Amino acid sequence: MLHNHSFDVMLRLTVIALLLAAPAALAQHDDHGTAHHAHAAEEEKAPPMRIADVPVVDQSGNAKRFYSELVKDRIVAMNFIFTSCTTICPTLGANFAKVQSLLGESGRDVSLISISIDPVNDTPARLAAWSTRLGGKPGWTLVTGEGTDIDALLKSIGAFTPDKNDHGPLVVLGDDRTGRWQRMNAFAAPAKIVEALQTLEKERTAAANAAAASAAAQYFGALPLVDQNGRTVDLYSDLIRGRTVVINAFFADCKNTCPIMANAYRAIQGRFPDRIGRDLALISITVDPKNDTPPRLKSLATQLEAKEGWYFLSGTEEQVGAALRKIGLFAQNPEGHSNLFLIGNDRTGLWKKALGVANLDEVVEVVNSVVNDPVAPSPTATP
């Protein structure tokens, strides 16, 4: 990863944009706070919640804070059960076991949580035995606790009912990091619940990608330069935005490392012939703008057999200096320019560095890892 002090802002960002949810209440309450959700629609969007951070105990007897240790920054699915229930609870538990099985390895970042609505009788040992009978595995947490704490927790989620025998088949899904929550009928097919959880994961990644792209635009700002064809371009909006880029500093009279770096660029061209000029760009910025005029750079591009998508950039000393400083490649003396390649994927926010005079295969492999950094597909809209 690139660690230049002025460029750290461009590393993969973890800022997550808050997604607006539909303005439907998680549950409607009467004057006594009772949630009427037994006949809720199979799927309903819910606003961000302030989940109570009450003390609970899991099925292994471990004391935890519910929100801060089980929900914060996580994607979760929560259902509401009690172990002596012989009507809907066994089905709810079997559904969670099936959801966990369907998620497999892809579900390692998803937490399944079952909250006992009978904390007086549901000890950790009873919860553990109930989960074991249903095939529960690590990653599925069952919790109990003091009655007043569990009541407060259930009310904060919108799942409280004063009579445990009157509770409805509800599963609450959400991503605490994005604030996206929804509730579903707990009798929904496990595959449908898995699909909803996977959509939450896609939305999280898409939000992170959008935040990274927005931050990149703000970081670069306007940096006008001139390419080898005499065309004025903006470094970010015209060349970087939406692409993977490889950027280096050079000058035309350089006889030392520049020819080696140019050879690496030619190898990258050969490795990605269908992507150069489309979603992959090579950018060479001169450190000698006084001498490296567009016609001279045009001649150099022809000599190097540069294809469309390899840009040789110059401009005024002020313009070139501003661009090189922004990406951490500025040099007072052309002979002292950096031999690093900056390799970034604007769509995902991933940036790396590679030594431009290193083994060609090593350089190409770094480029390959950035070009193919996965981008989450746009989340599928849900009704």
DSSP string spanning 187-252?
A: TS-HHHHHHHHHHHHHHHHHHHHHHHHHHHHHHH---EEE-TTS-EEEIIIIIITTSEEEEEEE-T
- Tell me, what's the pLDDT at 45? 54
Flag whether pLDDT at 7 surpasses 70: no
What confidence category does residue 374 fall into, taking pLDDT thresholds of 50, 70 and 90? confident
- Overall average pLDDT of the 158-185 stretch: 92
Cα–Cα distance, 220 to 235 (Å, whole number): 8
What confidence category does residue 207 fall into, taking pLDDT thresholds of 50, 70 and 90? confident
- The CATH T-level fold of domain 221-371 is Glutaredoxin (3.40.30)
Flag whether pLDDT at 262 surpasses 60: yes
Flag whether pLDDT at 181 surpasses 50: yes
The domain ranges of the chain are 43-208, 221-371
| 246, 247, 249, 250 alpha-carbon torsion, rounded to 10° | 40
What confidence category does residue 106 fall into, taking pLDDT thresholds of 50, 70 and 90? low
- Tell me, what's the pLDDT at 47? 56
pTM score of the predicted model: 0.55
Q: Where are the beta strands (DSSP E) in the chain?
A: 43-46, 55-58, 63-65, 75-81, 110-116, 140-144, 170-175, 180-185, 224-226, 232-234, 244-250, 280-286, 310-313, 340-345, 350-355
Q: Do domains 43-208 and 221-371 have the same CATH topology?
A: yes
- The CATH T-level fold of domain 43-208 is Glutaredoxin (3.40.30)
